[in-house]
Amino acid sequence: MARVSSTSNIFPTGRDDITGQFGLIWQVLKEPLIVPVLKLLVVVCLGMSIMLFIERVYMGIVIVFVKLFGRKPNKMYKWEPMKDDIEVGNSAYPMVLVQIPMYNEKEVYQLSIGAACGLSWPPDRIIIQVLDDSTDPAIKSLVELECQRWASKGINIKYEIRDNRKGYKAGALKEGMKHSYVKQCDYVAIFDADFQPEPNYLWRTIPFLVHNPEIALVQARWKFVNSDECLMTRMQEMSLDYHFTVEQEVGSATYAFFGFNGTAGVWRISAVNEAGGWKDRTTVEDMDLAVRASLKGWKFVYVGDLKVKNELPSTFKAYRYQQHRWSCGPANLFKKMAIEIVKNKKVSLWKKCYVIYSFFFVRKIVAHIVTFVFYCVVLPSTVLVPEVSVPKWGAVYIPSIVTLLNAVGTPRSLHLMVFWILFENVMSLHRTKATFIGLLEVGRVNEWVVTEKLGDALKAKLPAKATKKPRIRIGERLHLLELCAGAYLFFCGCYDFAFGKNRYYIFLFLQSIAFFIAGFGYIGTFVPNS
């Protein structure tokens, strides 16, 4: 019996020894290393929070003045409707090129081509150019057939392909500009494959370019046709509405700068050429062109009340790829162009500061990093290291004000604010990772994955599969980064609940649940396998 008793005590003693060793290592490292590093991170994160807070308040003040004084584009710039000229006929209207870049867009190609061909403009003064980079022969045949169908109706539509995908979208647009018939065009309107402009789109945008020779770009707002599809698309709508309602509006109204959104915009072709044309050095070719054109002294106009319908990514996989591209690209472009912007002599010091500090540094780098590092790493870590504390104004007041200012763009979704905060924190993990990849130019820095569009495919697919259980591959649904972040936050929440005094555990438990939901793939629309 004594021997059995002795054996039974071996494992508890072993576990106690291991726990004690970890505790000893923790105590040895905490004071000289962990505490100073964590204190430094708190100071850095508080500094970034203040920068973001000032930026949001500034834009809030500007947008209030814009609304109060009615600084609409047609009042800031000359705008007159295009009129017929009996003597010269349709030649009084400028020649417009409409480019539709696409890649295996089986679900939406008909919508985009149909909308472009439906634009109201003198038929002999418009050319529709479909730039098809599809690698699926069946889809290429469908797109070509659709172009032929519209051509048979008298539409001047060109179906253009190339033998490689070099440069991705930027390469396709650049190649499209080389065709001889483009030389007769004055302006180029660009629409991604899921965008559907209204027939009067050109009538509302072209006059800005015709009557104001200093304007290079007229950008329209996006209108989301599937924002109510699921909770994830509602969250995206809240984030993007702030971008369009505030960021774009402020940049346009103050004659400062705003980035081209890559679609739903009209460019003056001479400005594109002067800026150096399309470049594929980053995954944000649209922003690259806009910055270079701005440095040449060109102005941009944002028309917020002109909306172009499009589709939000509704699967988590598609959204993650999109956010990687949108976060990595700007950071990489900032690295490549910062010195060039500083040395530029054609624009004012104010504009340089605005582009470098406000547009790039605060919005494209600081906003991503502080969201994840502060709220998902540093703040939870202070629970484990009580020697380090975060002032209430930094942990509660500033984040609350910034969140409220961000949410004003979508009043109809204010009741979803808590879900939005948790979702944005989850996505900040990928945005921060992508930002560092862009700054350091490593790994997937130039990875371009076309955002998947579903169109009406999901609605047509689900009834047919209703009697069958969709096949789920575990590897496709599990996301280890989110699961690890969720586990860390849950551990910190449990520790704070048991031993802490900060009472962060409510936030930590909620945030860990959000990470777990994303980690197990229960977010967005799930598309059954064929």
Active-site option among 133, 192, 194, 280? 133
Q: Which tokens belong to 58?
A: 């500034």
Strand order in the sheet with 157-160: 157-160, 126-132, 96-102, 187-190, 265-268, 215-224, 299-310
Tell me the CB-side half-sphere exposure of residue 468, using CA atoms within 13 A. 11
Instruction: Identify the CA nearest to 120 among candidates 203, 187, 195, 188.
Output: 203
Q: Which tokens belong to 330?
A: 């700007």
Active-site option among 132, 192, 241, 286? 286
Give CA–CA dist 121/456, Å, rounded.
29
Give CA–CA dist 487/272, Å, rounded.
49
Is 286 an annotated catalytic residue? yes
Q: Are 528 and 462 in contact (CB under 8 A)?
A: yes
- The single residue listed with the structure tokens 């054609």 is 346
Q: Which tokens belong to 416?
A: 């979803």
Instruction: Identify the CA nearest to 331 among candidates 190, 444, 172.
Output: 444
CA Rg value for the chain: 27
Name the amino acid, one letter, at 446.
N
Terminal-to-terminal C-alpha distance of the chain: 63
Is 133 an annotated catalytic residue? yes
Dihedral angle over CA of 174, 179, 183, 186, nearest 10 = -50
Using CA atoms, how far residue 479 sits from 10, 70, 528, in Å, is 38, 47, 18
Contacts of 520 (CB under 8 A, 6+ apart): 477, 478, 479, 483
Q: Active-site residue numbers?
A: 133, 286
